Amino acid sequence: MKNFILLICLLATSAVFAQQDPVYSQYMLNPQLLNPAYAGLNNNFNILAGYRTQWTNFEGQPQTLNLAGNISLVDNKVGTGLLLVQDRIGNITNTEINASFAYKLDLDRDKTFSFGMQAGFQNFRTDYSQLNVLHPDDHAFAPGERGTRMNIGAGAILKSEGYFIGLSVPRLLPTTFKNGGQEFELYNRHVYLMAGYVYFVNDRIRLKPSALLRAVKGAPASVDLAFNVNFNAVHTAGLFTRNLNTYGLLLQTLLKDKYRFGYVFELPTNKSVGMNFTTHEITLGLMLPVLGFHDRSLSNSKFN
C-alpha cells in the first residue's frame, strides 16, 4: 500500500506537468513509436511488438504494450504504418491507435529525408474498483472517467549511411475532457529529438552512440544517452542512462536476417524510485523484403 501511495504522488506530479507519454528505451530499434516519418524508412516490411514493465514489484507500476507495423511502397518513395499502444499506470489506462504516412526524398547517394504524419484516436479511462476507497459509496468514485479524442502528429527524419536525426511531435493537439465539472488533461504536446551516429572501427565492429531528448511544457527536459557496440551488423550491446538517475543495459540481435529481438534492463537509483524496482523491456520483430524494390541487404538496418 505504501508503494501505491508513492505511485499516486508521482502520478499527481506527472498530471500537473503533463508527463503522460510512455517511456521507451529501444527507440532506435523501433523509432515508429515516437516518429511517424519512420514508416517505410528502411525500405522493407517491418512488424514489432514490445512490452515494458517499469519498476517491477512497485504496486500499480507502469506497464506498456505496443504493436507497430510499417511498409515501404511505390518504389520506396513512400511508407505507411499502423501503431497500437496501451499504457497502464495504477488504475489509469491509455489506449491509442494511429495510422501513419511518410514521403521520402533521396537527397544524394546515401542520404534520405522523410517527412511523415499520423492520425488516430486516444482512449482514456480510470477504474476506481482497483482502489481501496475510504467511502465506497462515494458517487465521485463510482463511474470513473472515460474519454476518446482524435490525435494527429508529425515528424521528420534525415538518415545517411553514418547518422540518423529525427524530430517529431507525435501528438500535436493538447487533449482535455470534462467530467463532473472538472477538466482533465489526457495528453499534452511532447517534442522528441533523437540522433544516432555510426563509427566504423573495422568491417565487423561499429560504435553507435545515440541520444533522445524529450521536452514538454512545464517540466524539465529528459535526456537519454546511450553507447552501443554493433558486431557484424547483427548483434548489439550497450549501456545507457536517463537523466543520470537511471542506468541500463541493452541487448539486440537480428537472426537469419529477419527476426529481431531486443531486451533492456534498467536500474533506477535513489534519485528515482530506488534500486529495488527494476525495469524490463522486450521487443520482438520481423523484417522482410516482401516487394521487388525492397532492400535485401543489412546496410539499411544500422539504426533499427
User: What is the set of domains in the chain, with CATH numbers?
Assistant: 2-301 (2.40.160.40)
Higher pLDDT, 7 or 150: 150
204-219 average pLDDT score: 93
Report yes or no on whether pTM surpasses 0.75.
yes
Residue 180 has pLDDT above 70, yes or no: no
Residue 224 in 3-state DSSP?
A: strand
pLDDT tens column, 22-66: 899 999 999 999 999 999 999 999 999 999 999 888 777 899 999
Residue 128 gets which letter from DSSP? G
Amino acid, res. 179: N
Across the chain, mean pLDDT equals 85
How far apart (Å, rounded) are the C-alpha atoms in residues 124 and 97? 12
pLDDT of res. 128: 66
72-81 average pLDDT score: 96
Residue 21 has pLDDT above 50, yes or no: yes
Question: Which residues fall within 8 angstroms of residue 265, CB to CB, at 6 or more apart?
Answer: 248, 249, 278, 279, 280
Higher pLDDT, 32 or 124: 32
- The answer to whether 229 and 236 are in contact (CB under 8 A) is yes
Sign, Cα dihedral of 87, 67, 256, 31: negative
Question: Which residues fall within 8 angstroms of residue 219, CB to CB, at 6 or more apart?
Answer: 17, 18, 19
pLDDT of res. 282: 97
Question: Percent of the chain having pLDDT more than 90?
Answer: 61
